[in-house]
Amino acid sequence: MVNYLVTGANRGIGLEFIRQILHRGERVVACCRNPERAIALNTLASVHDNDRLVICKLDVMQATAIASLPELLKKKGILIDVLIPNAGVAAASERLGLIQEETMLRVLHTNAISPMLLTQAFADHLQAPKRNAKIVCISSDLGSITYASDLTFGLSYGMSKAALNMGVKKLSSDLANRGIVLVAIHPGWVQTDMGGRYAHLTPTESTQAMLGVIDKLSIAQSGLFLDYRGQQVPW
């Protein structure tokens, strides 16, 4: 059985990862900020084996909680094979004159810094190379400088995903030497609270495709920026 860990698992793409991983018969640690308010996750827990779905409180802005998580799981007898830093935030109204330090720091911290801290925290914990360990950071093509327009819209979000992509590239060799694959993946434009209802893909379509890509990841792909179909996205 493959053991996954997904952050931001209470809604959107994260929640869909949990549903599909459980449907495959695998085990998953579902991390979210407020487990007591995560109704959909708790409903899943009530119909699934306790052993296959473990709900865990994690605010990815809390570095100490990230650092202590691998040991906490180990003590419970859980060793992770596939880490999916998925939690993310976007910010509205960032035109010139409306750019705010606090917003930018929150977006950069959540989307770029936290996945790097998670990667570092789990580097020793992941069952590599015995179990084909993988770290899959959920990025966005809005972090692609090649695709970027010069509109201020999505300023801190685009910056944060570009920084995440750089982090993936930077850490990928060290992790590949340990037998761990590290990639950034763009899920497509997805119908979630963040993506909105006009998005092209349902969470089911996006997540199913991403799991197909994740299954086939090889160490040679470490450091790549892929989309949900497994195609490379320009930096």
Residues forming contacts to ligand NAP in the complex (CB under 6 A) are 7-8, 10-14, 32-34, 59-61, 86-89, 110, 138, 140, 186-187, 189-190, 192-195, 199
Q: Shortest approach of ligand NAP to residue 49 CB, angstroms?
A: 23
Considering the complex, what minimum distance in angstroms separates the CB of residue 195 from ligand NAP? 3
Give min distance, CB of 211 to ligand NAP, in A. Answer: 14
Nearer to ligand NAP, 128 or 141 (CB): 141
Least spacing, CB of residue 156 vs ligand NAP, in Å:
12
Task: Indicate the residue among 59 and 131 with the shorter CB distance to ligand NAP.
Answer: 59
CB of 58 vs ligand NAP, minimal distance in Å: 6
* Residue nearer to ligand NAP on the CB measure, 79 or 189: 189
Smaller CB separation from ligand NAP, 81 or 227: 227
CB of 157 to ligand NAP, least distance (A): 7
Give the separation between CA 168 and CA 180, rounded to whole angstroms: 12
Indicate the residue among 147 and 189 with the shorter CB distance to ligand NAP.
Answer: 189
Minimum CB distance to ligand NAP smaller for 85 or for 223: 85
Residue 144's φ and ψ, nearest 5 degrees, are -85, 120
